[in-house]
Structure 1
């Protein structure tokens, strides 16, 4: 497997670096390459952990950033609906641009919600208050 993932990882990193200053998926390709290389190299895993932490703190570091992150992804998803609206067919890119933007916005919301939930769980665990829930009862906090 390493015979396939390592060259592919380096290829994605290289193409990502070249495309990074241009409009397009440069950062995404760079991150995908780093994910593949992190399976083989500790330095790549270390950089990937640092990048994830920086992205998480940038999006959810404060209540204002959290609200802005959620608002931006919602606006992105709603903007994609313009391309899908019947009267807005004059927008460049056609229907698939709208689909891509809508899917990107929804994926961003899923990632934000998952990270927010993970962060809240880590805070509760650090405070020693792990939530418990019964099958039929509401969430309770053990004190």
Structure 2
């Protein structure tokens, strides 16, 4: 019984911290950073009060960002273009183009990781497009994106 409880706690710790680290990395790399950070805090909040306290502000930031990102067509087009570009880079990465002559370091460092790296880029692209669709359906045309994000975080319509 005790080992089952310890295994559950260990699984929660690993999943939560992995999502937090991925979320922090995705804040500066391609990917849904705030969403992954929110998911990590949600998992860790099962064990830690500090994570529970930080959960709501991160959720509101993520929803506010989603709401503001679909308020104008230029933002929507830019977001979709960036998401598609990341997917295209993923496909190119997976195909593995020949090393160009201008590449200054060893050939093995040209597009490292193959389809594993490509898959994460393609997955990020598809997730981004999914979040854009969700954000558009949920928030496009609202008068006050911040208030809409707050309502969404509280589970209201």
Q: Tell whether the 8 Å contact from 2:38 to 2:55 is kept in structure 1 after alignment.
A: no
Normalised by the size of structure 2, how large is the TM-score?
A: 0.53
Structure-1-length-normalised TM-score: 0.57
Counterpart of 1:82 in 2: which secondary structure?
helix
Matched residue, 2:9: 4
- Structure-1 separation of matches of 2:9 and 2:88: 39
3-state DSSP of counterpart to 2:111? coil
How far 1:74 sits from its partner (Å)? 0.6
1:34 aligned to 33, 41, 44, which one? 41
Residue number in structure 2 paired with 1:47: 57
Gaps of 5+ in 2: 100-109, 143-157
Structure 1: gaps spanning 5 or more residues: 124-143
Equivalent of 2:111 in 92, 97, 111: 92
Give RMSD over aligned pairs. 3.9
- How many residue pairs end up in the alignment? 115
Distance 2:71 2:128 in 1: 16
Q: Displacement, 1:50? A: 1.6
Q: Aligned-pair distance for 1:96?
A: 1.8
Distance 1:39 1:100 in 2: 28
Moved over 6 A (4+): none
Q: Which has the higher contact order (CA 8 A, sep 6+)?
A: 2
